[in-house]
A = this chain, B = another copy of it.
Amino acid sequence: MTTLITNIGELTTNVSTAEGDRVGTLHDAAVLIEDGRIAWVGAAADAPGPSTGSGTQSGSGIPTGSGTQDVIDAGGRAVIPGFVDSHSHLMFGGDRAAEFEARMAGQKYAAGGIRSTVAATRAASDDELRARLRGFLDEMLAQGTTTVEIKSGYGLSVVDEERLVRLAAEVTSEVTFLGAHVVPVEYADRPDAYVDLVTGPMLDACAPHSRWIDVFCETGAFTVPQSRRVLEAGIARGLAPRVHASQLGPGEGVRLAVELGAASVDHGTYLTEGDVTALAASDTVLTLLPGVEFSTRQPYPDARRLIDAGVTVALACDTNPGSSFTSSMPFCIAIAVRDMGMTPAEAVWAATAGGARALRRDDVGVVTPGARADLVLLKAPTRIHLAYRPGVPLVDQVWKDGVAALAGSESDRATEEHGSLTR
């Protein structure tokens, strides 16, 4: 069986065009889904119907289904690729609402607050962590996120870090070992001994469940030499590097990330000209996290300057209880447009294809034959509404690997009202 989404008023494909449209916008478009993958993309008028045979239509190269086809009428509304959220910390217990409230009343954000979440996380059972994780994933899916990276980093002991990456690996292939999130209290006066632990027994326990190695390279967290040790140890174990850097002030973390070929360096609230030049000349993505600046009242980085300089920019939510408890990619897009100087098209690209680049993935974040059928139908005629209508839940339906994930969508109801649209 195939699914045809047709009457799409505006389709963002992220396949750049010869005319210079980097997000490859199509109007009056359709997308054919087969076996969880995109099978065809084009003008609605040219959309392939079901055939009685299998394989491709004679001479056309257009794949067809096995005779039945679900047809979804997008009603002239916009479809975008599912969001690829390349930076999240979903494995934790408790929250820090009171700390947030105090910060909004004037208290400054400091990395040390992470330790209170460490205590709550260590105290939570596996099933409690799983239930919490499932809640976040449902919430993200309802907001259009179809791929999510998940970090450890609130365990900070061998047994707890192993637990976090293992539980994360139950729901995503994008697991990041972040034992080097902050130095735990029990190692407060001997941080290098903690780095020994992270690069030794903790890495041994976590590497089998992880794809990525990460470190928070920042004053108050890990020094540049410590960060290098962590990343190099992970690389030696087959993990690919990514880095938290320049969140609280300028530093050398960005340059370290570029030097080690990190897929992404994340935060970048405080970048030097040298950082920008190094990023522009590299394959390292800069992942901006607007929720962090929002929730800590830090200055927003100037994405306009970065993009104009040739840096590849991604957007992610950084969902975590301390510095950014949003899980809303639409919210991050709205802030990126309003406060970081991105155009709506650039922000949507950064939250989809940009996230995919930050994870070195080419099967998501793009609507093209062969890619995963991860798609979002908006309750809006254009992706611009994601910034134009901040805070409004605009996701009508989400397809993950070709399967409609949300109950009660308007497109479902329209199909019911019109009777079967199978043709």
Chain A residues proximal to chain B, CB less than 8 Å:
95, 97-98, 100-101, 104-105, 139, 142-143, 291, 294-295, 297, 325-328, 330-332, 334, 337-338, 343-344, 381-382, 384-385, 387-393, 407-408
Contacts of A105 in B (CB 8 A): 343
CA distance A407 to B328 in the complex (A): 22
Q: What are 5 A-B pairs with beta-carbon distances under 8 A?
A: A104-B343, A139-B392, A291-B390, A327-B392, A334-B391
Are B101 and A344 in touch, CB under 8 angstroms? yes
Which residue of chain B has its CB nearest to the CB of A97? B384
List the B side residues contacting A391 at CB < 8 Å. 143, 326, 328, 330-332, 334, 390-391
A338 and B294 contact, Cβ closer than 8 Å, known pairs A100-B384, A343-B101, A381-B97: yes
B contact residues around A97 at 8 Å (CB): 381-382, 384-385, 388
How many identical chains are in the complex? 2
Please give me the residue from chain B that is nearest to A135 by CB atom. B379
Which of chain B's residues have a CB closer than 8 A to the CB of A327? 389, 392
Whether B390 pairs with A393 at a CB distance below 8 angstroms is no
Q: Which residues of B contact A332 (CB under 8 A)?
A: 391
- Tell me, rounded to whole Å, the shortest Cβ–Cβ distance linking A297 to chain B: 7
Q: Which residue of B lies closest to A104 (CB)?
A: B337
State in angstroms the CA–CA spacing of A390 and B338 once bound together.
Answer: 15
Choice from B100, B338, B393 contacting A142 with Cβ under 8 Å: B393
Contact A388–B295 (Cβ < 8 Å): yes
Contact A326 B390 (CB under 8 A): yes
Complex contacts, A98 vs chain B, CB 8 Å:
384
- Min CB distance A60 to B, Å, is 36
Question: How many Å lie between the Cα of A389 and that of B317 in the bound state?
Answer: 11
Q: How far is the CB of A420 from chain B (nearest CB, A)?
A: 23
In the complex, are the beta carbons of B143 and A326 less than 8 A apart?
A: no
A291's nearest neighbour on chain B, judged by CB, is B390
Partner of A407, one of B95, B100, B338, B408: B408
The 9 A-B pairs with the shortest beta carbon distances in the complex, nearest first, are: A331-B391, A328-B391, A97-B384, A100-B388, A325-B389, A393-B393, A326-B390, A328-B392, A325-B388
| Contacts known (A104-B343, A104-B344, A382-B97); A389 close to B338, Cβ less than 8 A | no
Q: Which residues of chain B come closer than 8 Å to A330, judged between CB atoms? A: 391
Chain B residues near A101: list those with CB within 8 A: 343-344, 384, 388
Do residues B331 and A100 form an inter-chain contact, with CB atoms below 8 A? no
Q: Is the CB–CB distance between B338 and A392 below 8 Å? A: no
Beyond the given A97-B382, A139-B393, A143-B393, please list 10 additional residue pairs across the A-B interface where CB-CB is below 8 A. Answer: A95-B381, A104-B338, A325-B385, A326-B392, A327-B392, A331-B331, A331-B391, A331-B392, A391-B391, A407-B408
